[in-house]
Chains A and B, each alone.
Chain A
Amino acid sequence: MTEGTFIKVGMADLNMGESGAILKTTGLGSCVGLTLFDPQLRIGGMAHIMLPSSDIAREGQLNIAKYADTAVPELLKRMMSKGAVTRRLVAKMAGGAQMFAFMGGTDTMRIGPRNVEATKQMLEHYHIAVVAEDTGGNYGRTVELNTDNGVFSIRSVQHGVKEI
């Protein structure tokens, strides 16, 4: 995984990268793109979280990358197996938008903010600080994490590219 290599993280998926590889996930709407970065080892992880809690899962084989409550511990476990240390980890996240303004606002339509809340709760549980985020709003995002320097860049149709 050399510098500048792109590692794509699909929807309801998670992955890791190191040595300057760039983790990327596209088209986040209500989903949350969470990244963890160990600046000392320059290891990064990314999860594309779709739903807040696996309590509602009815699938046979649980896709743990899909739910905030299962994706965070799994990503953490994988990073630690590579030598990352929890207290060094820096979390950045984006997404959790409300793309559509529905009248009434049912629970399903509030899924974006709920994904953000659930992800933060899990991070808090592991005492990992969210140092930067670009969440909410009503627009889609594509995000990248550069595992060389931990820079998290966010691209949207309306607002172009920004780095946090």
Chain B
Amino acid sequence: MSLFKNDADFKMDVLREVGNIGAGNAATALSTLLNKPVDMAVPTVSLLPFEAIAERVGGSEAVVIAIFLRVEGDAPGNMFFIINREPARRILQGLLGFNAAENDDYSELELSALNEIGNILAGSYLSSLADFTGLRMSPTVPSLAVDMAGAILSYGMLQFGTMGDDALLIDTTFLEGQQEAEGHFFLIPDPESFDKLFRALGVPI
């Protein structure tokens, strides 16, 4: 399935830049929060079968910490900040001085702190995107879940679900120093949002 009729390669490049700008700002915000450098990989933009999206974070049954929010405004979509369990612990320790639990029993306070981090990062992602495109984009109140990746990410595919069995994912991986991936930023714009994004950026549709 091809989502774009013309200039598909160029459009994918434009979306990669969208991810670059948004996630770049979010990485800076995270680095400020943690007071240490946070790197990010070059965003990947791909049209993926629903199943394959969960593979990006360890598979459908992998337990992940995810902050989910809807993007509202001119170009609506779904956004996830997905963080692996080990880095989440380090973040809580570094940021709050918590001696986070070894297992998955997060306290209310820890969950609330993670949710707030997701909120800050998503806010910086979206505000830079809104500046860049001139479009109005605002996040809903974020919601956090610690659960199977497949169960969580399926919420991001509902809008694409009526169109086919693939969704377009803008995926940016965060890295802390030389360590393994810390987490992912997933932006899945609603199918109707692409034309608006392209028009706002002067890309012929």
Which A residues form the contact surface with B (CB < 8 A)? 10-12, 26-31, 50-51, 56-60, 63, 66, 97, 99-103, 108, 111, 138-142, 157
Contact = CB atoms under 8 A, between A and B. Distances in A.
| B: interface residue count bin | 20 to 34
A139 B151 contact: yes
- 8 tightest Cβ-Cβ pairs between the two chains A and B: A27-B150, A140-B151, A29-B151, A27-B60, A140-B148, A100-B143, A26-B60, A140-B147
B117 to A, nearest CB: 17
B140 A102 contact: yes
A26 B50 contact: no
A29 B162 contact: no
B63 interface: yes
A142 B143 CA distance: 22
Main secondary structure of the interface of B (DSSP, over half): mixed
Interface stretch (B33-41, B152-160, B193-201): B152-160
Given A29-B148, A111-B158, A138-B145, 19 more contacts: A11-B50, A26-B148, A27-B149, A27-B154, A28-B150, A30-B151, A50-B50, A50-B161, A51-B161, A58-B163, A59-B163, A63-B164, A66-B161, A103-B141, A111-B155, A140-B151, A141-B148, A142-B60, A157-B147
B161 A157 contact: no
Contacts of B161: 12, 50-51, 66
B162 A11 contact: no
Main secondary structure of the interface of A (DSSP, over half): loop
28 contacts: A10-B50, A11-B50, A11-B51, A11-B150, A11-B154, A26-B59, A27-B148, A27-B150, A28-B150, A30-B151, A30-B154, A30-B158, A31-B154, A50-B50, A50-B154, A51-B162, A56-B162, A58-B163, A59-B164, A63-B165, A99-B68, A99-B151, A103-B140, A108-B159, A139-B147, A142-B148, A157-B63, A157-B104
Interface in B72-87: none
A63 to B, nearest CB: 6
A57 B161 CA distance: 8
Contacts of A100: 68, 143, 145, 155
B92 interface: no
A108 B140 CA distance: 14
Contacts of A99: 68, 145, 147, 151-152, 155
Nearest to A97: B151
B61 A142 contact: yes
Nearest to A31: B154
Contacts of A141: 148, 151
B71 interface: no
A26 to B, nearest CB: 4
Contacts of A58: 162-163
Given A12-B50, A58-B163, A100-B143, A108 B158 contact: yes
A157 B159 CA distance: 26
